[in-house]
């Protein structure tokens, strides 16, 4: 499984995705190949997909450290930890100074599973930002 | 120090700049070499274990054979004694003594093979566990590096396209507004559709002479005529 196979599949889906979402994919050059997946209508919060030796990682950036209301930072962490298990398929993480939601898939995952992962991750992102807006500037 | 600890220490130390690796490439290579060595040890230990287990089985078979032969000869000796052939009985007894000596040797060898096999099995298990642990740790290092590189690519891509990741609340507002606009359009289209279907129904009713009728010129003329006649 590589990101080009995923890109071709998602771009080819058009209106026929199993999740009702439309995906636009753009490969990003770099040391590690990354695929930017835009869910149509939600271009502001793209998902970045990369494949390592043993897993496919789907990551969405939520907000930067500079957007967090510092006084409620601890409360925000507790909410994140509390949500980590009930939130389907996605988990919170931090990369550098950015908070992210991510999901990891096996390299053997089917295209349908990848579609579902991306759709759920996108839904989760919107919901998380909505729910946690009070912790943000 | 475990790999997870190294990764966390590196993060705390701020080693998250682009191009700065969590564990330097040389250390990763040494680690990969350790994994390959462990794999070699494992293969060797497994091969040795197979040999020892084969020898153990051979010894066990030999023990069974000797026991059977001893029992057989004990039967012969008893029969010789029953026939009062003391000399033959003694000869058989000597043979039994020899066989018993052999049996003892085989039993000692078998016990030693069993011990060796048990030790090797422990070693194989330990090496397998260690190998799985090394591989898990290597996977953590590689994933961390990969995510860092991917993040660098993403950041570069955003920088070069002059676009930037928006503030989370603004992003959500824009997405919601777009969704609202879409919903509004859908609603408007639905309303229009209903209106159109209402109109067409009214037209059909009128054609069938049902409901409110339009006054035609003929009707007016008829009405005027009727008025004049009265």
* Model pLDDT for residues B55-74, shown as the tens digit of each residue: 999 999 999 999 999 999 99
Q: B120 and B90 in one domain?
A: yes
pLDDT band for position B140 (50/70/90)? confident
pLDDT higher than 50, residue B18: no
ipTM score of complex: 0.85
Indicate the residue among B149, B165, B181 that finishes a domain. Answer: B165
Q: B112 and B96 in one domain?
A: yes
Task: Tell whether A108 lies on the interface with B, counting CB pairs under 8 A.
Answer: no
pLDDT band for position B19 (50/70/90)? very low
pLDDT band for position B10 (50/70/90)? low
Give phi and psi for A27, each to the nearest 5.
-70, 140
Q: What is the 3-state secondary structure (H, E, C) of B157-176?
A: HHHHCCCCCCCHHHHHHHHH
What is the residue range of B178's domain? 169-230
Give the long-range contacts of residues B206-211, CB within 8 A, separation 24 or more.
none
Q: B125 and B230 in one domain?
A: no
Q: Which of A32, A57, A104, A135 to mutate to test the interface with B (most CBs of B within 10 A)?
A: A32
Angle between helices A73-84 and A111-131 in degrees, nearest 10: 150
**Which helix H or strand E contains B124, and what residues bound it?**
helix B86-160
Indicate the residue among B165, B196, B215 that finishes a domain. Answer: B165
Nearest CA to B46 among B121, B110, B102?
B121
| Interface residues on B facing A, Cβ-Cβ cutoff 8 A | 16, 139, 142-143, 146-147, 149-154, 156-157, 165-172, 174-175, 178-179, 182
Indicate the residue among B131, B165, B199 that finishes a domain. Answer: B165
Which class is A3-135 in CATH? alpha beta
CB–CB contacts below 8 A, A to B: 84
pLDDT at site B203: 82
Q: Give the Cβ contact number of residue B99 at 10 Å.
A: 19
pLDDT at site A134: 94
Domain ranges of chain A: 3-135
**Both structure tokens of B30:** 């040494």
Q: B97 and B73 in one domain?
A: yes
> How many domains does one find in chain B?
2
Sign of CA dihedral A103, A104, A110, A114: positive
Q: What's the rounded mean pLDDT across residues A22-41?
A: 90
Q: B53 and B135 in one domain?
A: yes
pLDDT higher than 60, residue B33: yes
| Distance of alpha carbon B180 from alpha carbon B188, whole angstroms | 12
| Distance of alpha carbon B174 from alpha carbon B169, whole angstroms | 9
Domain CATH for B80: 1.10.287
Q: B31 and B51 in one domain?
A: yes
pLDDT at site B208: 83
Q: Which of A35, A39, A61 to mutate to test the interface with B (most CBs of B within 10 A)?
A: A61
Q: B152 and B76 in one domain?
A: yes
pLDDT higher than 60, residue B142: yes
Over the stretch B154-166, which tens digit does the pLDDT of each residue have? 877 776 665 566 7
Comparing B217 with B52, the larger pLDDT belongs to B52
pLDDT higher than 80, residue B222: yes
Q: B131 and B187 in one domain?
A: no
pLDDT band for position A14 (50/70/90)? confident
Q: What's the rounded mean pLDDT across residues B209-217?
A: 73
Q: B204 and B97 in one domain?
A: no
Q: B132 and B29 in one domain?
A: yes
Q: What's the rounded mean pLDDT across residues B209-215?
A: 71
């Amino acid at each position: 499984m590589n990101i080009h196979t995923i890109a071709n599949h998602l771009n080819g889906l058009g209106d026929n995705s199993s999740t009702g979402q439309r995906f636009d994919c753009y490969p990003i050059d770099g040391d590690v190949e990354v695929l930017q997946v835009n869910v149509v209508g939600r271009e502001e919060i793209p998902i970045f997909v990369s494949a390592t030796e043993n897993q496919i990682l789907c990551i969405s950036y939520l907000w930067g450290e500079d957007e967090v209301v510092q006084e409620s930072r601890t409360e925000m962490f507790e909410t994140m930890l509390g949500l980590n298990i009930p939130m389907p398929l996605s988990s919170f993480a931090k990369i550098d100074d950015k908070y992210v939601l991510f999901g990891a898939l096996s390299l053997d995952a089917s295209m349908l599973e990848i579609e579902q992962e991306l759709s759920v991750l996108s839904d989760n992102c919107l919901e998380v930002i909505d729910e946690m807006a009070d912790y943000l500037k | 120090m475990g790999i997870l600890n190294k990764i966390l220490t590196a993060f705390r130390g701020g080693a998250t700049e682009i191009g700065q690796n969590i564990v330097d490439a040389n250390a990763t290579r040494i680690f990969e070499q350790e994994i390959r060595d462990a794999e070699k040890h494992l293969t060797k230990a497994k091969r040795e274990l197979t040999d020892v287990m084969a020898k153990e089985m051979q010894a066990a078979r030999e023990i069974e054979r000797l026991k059977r032969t001893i029992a057989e000869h004990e039967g012969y000796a008893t029969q010789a004694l029953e026939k009062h052939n003391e000399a033959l009985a003694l000869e058989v007894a000597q043979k039994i003594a020899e066989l018993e000596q052999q049996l003892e040797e085989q039993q000692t060898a078998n016990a030693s093979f069993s011990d060796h096999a048990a030790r090797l099995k422990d070693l194989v298990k330990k090496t397998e566990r260690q190998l799985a642990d090394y591989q898990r740790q290597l996977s953590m290092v590689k994933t961390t590096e990969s995510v860092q590189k991917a993040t660098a690519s993403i950041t570069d891509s955003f920088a070069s396209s002059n676009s930037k990741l928006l503030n989370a609340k603004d992003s959500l507002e824009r997405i919601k507004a777009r969704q609202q606009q879409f919903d509004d359009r859908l609603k408007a289209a639905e309303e229009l559709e209903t209106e159109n279907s209402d109109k067409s129904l009214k037209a059909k009713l009128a054609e069938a002479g049902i409901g409110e009728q339009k006054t035609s010129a003929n009707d007016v003329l008829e009405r005027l005529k009727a008025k004049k006649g009265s």
